Amino acid sequence: MDGYVSKDEMWAAVPFGKKYMIIHNGEQLQVFNTLDAAKNFILKQTKPKKTRTKKTTKPKTSSKASLF
């Protein structure tokens, strides 16, 4: 059985019987049946998260014209 270690060496999928356990920062997180499923989980967790950009809003204008 092979294992997997991420490029930053912070994540690993190690054999655990016939399954694979995910270890991150020395903590056991989850167990997967296949190495591919474990790798996908690690890649999903290490992928940079998208940040939302704030939409610029136009200043509110009054629909009624001022009489003064």
Q: What are the residue ranges spanned by the domains of the chain?
A: 4-46
Tokens found for residue 7: 């490029």
The pLDDT of residue 27 is: 95
Instruction: Tell me what the pLDDT averaged over the chain comes to.
Output: 87
What is the pTM assigned to this prediction?
Answer: 0.68
| Average pLDDT rounded to a whole number, residues 12-23 | 96
More confident residue, 25 or 49: 25
* Rounded Cα gap, residues 43 and 10, in angstroms: 12
Paired tokens of 65: 């014209």
